[in-house]
Amino acid sequence: MASESRERISKAMTALVLDHAFFAALALRLKIVETSACPTGYVNGEEIGFNPDWIKGLRDKQIQGFLAHEVMHLAMTHHTRMLDRDHEWWNIAGDFAINNILKEAGMELPDTQCIDPKYKDMAAEEVYDIVYDSTKKPKGPKQDPGGCGGIKPMEGKDGGKPSPNDIKKEEEDWKIATIAAANAAKQQGELPGHLKSFIDELKAPKLDWREILREFVEVSAKNDYTWKTPNRRYLQSGIILPSLLSKELGTAVIVVDTSGSVSKVELEQFAGEISSILEEYNDITIQVIYCDTRVAHVEEFHSSDLPIQMKMHGGGGTDFKPPFAWVRKNLDEAPTCLLYFTDLECHSYPKDPGYPTIWIWTKTQWTNSSWKSKPPFGQVVAMDMRNDK
């Protein structure tokens, strides 16, 4: 039988599912662990731990705030970025970096002194340089001086320090998950406006476009909740939560800029990735739109069309508006996501269509310099052909 504190954690998780889709999507990735080894609570990339006595002293809204606080540590990858900094001061810096966002999102936090508008929009590293004092120990509970849930650094597979590759993968996984959670919440009309600037900063040109596409497909495959089948991840902990309900995947749209932005080699890579997705998800439809200044050709692919072959169509200038107009006119429902492969050498953008849009910046020899035009909506991901095999 679940303890009183576990039941309250379960209740708080349910409230997040119903009222705060962004935080819920991230929290449901984690195990829930009851422990007396921590005076308050913690998160480490794999689990959320909580002290049952501490939970008993919190209001229901504060428990929700605690859960949201912990997943924001992960969304900001605080568990991978501590390096050789002091653990307790790093916790404080991380708290200051996220608590303003949580407050503006309407979350009620456990009692904490780590909230100050002067740290708004600062990264944890910036805050750390301001608050760190090597001559003092931070006030507050050990391991969590901020008092609203601590962050433990990521561990390696053997319990030691993680390798650089492990850290890179962990950070990419959480960035992709965070972007996907934000888009899912936005579609439900539940993404707090105050989180927008944070999400915009996760454009991260080093993210692999193929992993992002798969994450959006996965979110579409599991974008609703059902209470008929409890979430098995939490049953062993005595917590009853809804499981994610698989639905039809709908349609993903891929737009290929045929003004000279995409090479034959890139087109072959796109076809290969589309084929692998169709092999894994046989109930998804993929629309491929070839466009320069107009829609030159449209192809529809299903699993029965494997292997996929794509040929270039068009070859004039560039206008980003026609593909979105085609989607609006020809699809009954908004697509799961739209990926636009382009060199971004154009300023003619439509209005935000309201569904997830990813601009794949096809620069064979791209550098850290900015693209010619910044899209007014969506996420930009650079495709570095030097790293694509």
- Each residue of 206-260: pLDDT tens digit? 456 666 666 666 655 555 555 555 555 555 555 555 554 544 567 889 898 888 7
Same domain for 68 and 172, yes or no, is yes
Sign of the alpha-carbon dihedral angle for 202, 203, 208, 209:
positive
The pLDDT value given to residue 206: 46
Same domain for 81 and 144, yes or no, is yes
The pLDDT value given to residue 306: 83
- Give residue 293's identity as a one-letter amino acid code: T
What is the rounded CA–CA span in Å between residue 146 and residue 152?
13
Asked if the structure places residue 237 within a domain, the reply is no
Q: Write the CATH number for 377.
A: 3.40.50.410
Same domain for 262 and 347, yes or no, is yes
What is the rounded CA–CA span in Å between residue 314 and residue 49?
56
**Entry pTM:** 0.58
Same domain for 133 and 268, yes or no, is no
Same domain for 189 and 255, yes or no, is no
Asked if the structure places residue 133 within a domain, the reply is yes
Same domain for 190 and 282, yes or no, is no
Asked if 90 contacts 82 with a C-beta cutoff of 8 angstroms, the reply is yes
Same domain for 180 and 280, yes or no, is no
What is the rounded CA–CA span in Å between residue 38 and residue 12?
20
Asked if 279 contacts 302 with a C-beta cutoff of 8 angstroms, the reply is no
- Give residue 306's identity as a one-letter amino acid code: L
Same domain for 149 and 266, yes or no, is no
Residues near 387 by beta carbon (within 8 Å), at least 6 away in sequence: none
Helix intervals (H) in the chain: 4-19, 21-27, 52-56, 60-75, 87-104, 124-131, 164-187, 196-200, 209-221, 232-235, 264-280, 321-330
Q: Which of 194, 216, 231 is the last residue of a domain?
A: 194
Eight-class DSSP state of 147:
S
Same domain for 58 and 126, yes or no, is yes
Sign of the alpha-carbon dihedral angle for 127, 133, 136, 137:
positive
Neighbours of 364 (CB within 10 A): 13
The pLDDT value given to residue 143: 86
Same domain for 22 and 170, yes or no, is yes
The pLDDT value given to residue 248: 52
Domain, as residue range, for 380: 248-387
What is the rounded CA–CA span in Å between residue 55 and residue 72?
19
The pLDDT value given to residue 110: 94
Same domain for 253 and 190, yes or no, is no
What is the rounded CA–CA span in Å between residue 75 and residue 307?
37
Domains contained in the chain, number? 2
Q: What are phi and psi of 313, to 5 degrees?
A: -135, 140
The pLDDT value given to residue 96: 95
Question: pLDDT tens string for the chain (389 positions)?
Answer: 568 999 999 999 999 988 898 999 999 999 999 999 999 999 999 999 999 999 999 999 999 999 999 999 999 999 999 988 999 999 999 999 999 999 988 999 999 989 999 998 888 998 999 999 988 988 888 889 999 999 999 988 777 888 888 888 898 889 888 888 888 787 777 676 667 777 766 644 445 666 666 666 665 555 555 555 555 555 555 555 555 454 456 788 989 888 876 677 777 777 877 787 777 776 778 899 999 899 999 999 888 888 888 888 877 788 999 999 999 999 988 888 888 888 788 889 999 998 888 888 775 433 334 455 678 888 777 665 444 44
The pLDDT value given to residue 369: 43
